Structure 1
């Protein structure tokens, strides 16, 4: 009960801060809006936005480890703050009177943050976060729509593949695994073995489940054979 009340208080505080940031963003007070989010992050987690955005996603996730367990509900709160930060940068890019370079820089900063928030949402959902706490599934779909023209990092494609599998959308999971294989981002991870494990898990399902997931058994076998070749 105490843990639940503590989380709810944090959510209420975050909702209030995001509301203030939204008002400031609409008034084009972007620096003040960013400061509002940064101050909340410091109070709740002892971090700041600069730190979260400068570190690799895996290192940030480890910062939410407590007694050997990643506190995924806290992680998705951080994702929400970074998502809101992304929208502030996107708004800055639309301000009249700035140079083309400043506009491009703001767009890039916003996109980078949006993708990082997506990674944290997906990781949190894949590891047991409460999906209703911040409506994370809806936020994932919204961010995917906003970033559909861009290439996601391989590590994020991996999380997306696991998430789609969890949803029973096996055809989309397969697509994400193959994008992860194609993209790669220097991580010392053998995605090929993980894709093989994905197909092996699907092999154990009933034909009806595979059909509903958009990946009939023959396509599972074809994919596994192609991977082996």
Structure 2
């Protein structure tokens, strides 16, 4: 399904669809633009926005995988159009509908950036930052916040990741093992890498002891 010819055609079709979308947005034809997005996803990927939202991230990634490996370009295109639909809905004052699209788009973009890196022509890193800003004042799901936690560690923002770990723990969104493995990974880093991420070695060990106390684990 995801051979190179297919992907090149998909990207070409996406560019055409995106150009049409931008034209509709400039003309303030938001409802027509939403229909246009759904038609593109349905025609090219046999996927409507509502179906994408209804699927778990795991199932959606599996749907667009070959040999168990999700196709980064396809996933990124879905995320991009979900973000665009979220923007349209927000401009229409339908925030309750825009937020789930923003969250799904952000999780998919973070996944693609982490496992594949940027996709040429899609500006995922810029879009990711836009989504984080759009969601800053929203009460995001634990699933989305956990994806951000994973991303923070990936980016080397260790102090921020540690803070978010404790927030997630309050919601029961991480396990004692998640925290233990997080501290184990950080403990294998050099002092310079830790410092660049906002933690000293002593702060790391203090954090580990606090986590063990919080979760009832004994120090190893």
Give me the TM-score of the superposition, normalised by structure 1.
0.83
8 Å contact 1:126–1:162 — kept in the other structure? no
Pairs within 5 Å for 1:26-65: 26-65=26-65
Tell me the residue number matched to 2:146.
158
8 Å contact 2:82–2:101 — kept in the other structure? yes
Distance 1:198 1:133, change over 3 A: farther
Q: How big is each residue's C-alpha offset from its partner over 1:9-51, in whole Å with a ceiling of 9 and x where there is no partner?
A: 4233223212222322333322321121112112322111121
Q: How big is each residue's C-alpha offset from its partner over 1:67-90, in whole Å with a ceiling of 9 and x where there is no partner?
A: 211222211110001000101101
CA distance in 2 between partners of 1:75 and 1:26 (Å): 26
CA distance in 1 between partners of 2:8 and 2:199 (Å): 40
Q: How big is each residue's C-alpha offset from its partner over 1:186-214, in whole Å with a ceiling of 9 and x where there is no partner?
A: xxxx5331121111111011111110111
CA distance in 2 between partners of 1:216 and 1:42 (Å): 50
8 Å contact 2:79–2:109 — kept in the other structure? yes
Tell me the residue number matched to 2:183.
199
Deviation at 1:227, TM superposition (A): 1.0
- Structure 1 stretches of 4+ with a deviation exceeding 6 A read none
CA distance in 2 between partners of 1:191 and 1:15 (Å): 42
CA distance in 2 between partners of 1:182 and 1:73 (Å): 35
Structure 1 SS opposite 2:198: coil
8 Å contact 2:76–2:112 — kept in the other structure? yes
Tell me the residue number matched to 1:18.
18
Tell me the residue number matched to 2:156.
168
8 Å contact 1:28–1:92 — kept in the other structure? no
Distance 1:151 1:191, change over 3 A: farther
Is there any run of 5+ residues in structure 2 with no aligned partner, and where? 214-220
The one of 109, 120, 127 aligned to 1:139:
127
Deviation at 1:4, TM superposition (A): 5.1
Distance 1:80 1:224, change over 3 A: same
After superposition, the CA RMSD in angstroms is 2.1
Distance 1:73 1:179, change over 3 A: farther
Pairs within 5 Å for 1:64-213: 64-93=64-93, 106-184=94-172, 190-213=174-197
CA distance in 2 between partners of 1:178 and 1:44 (Å): 41
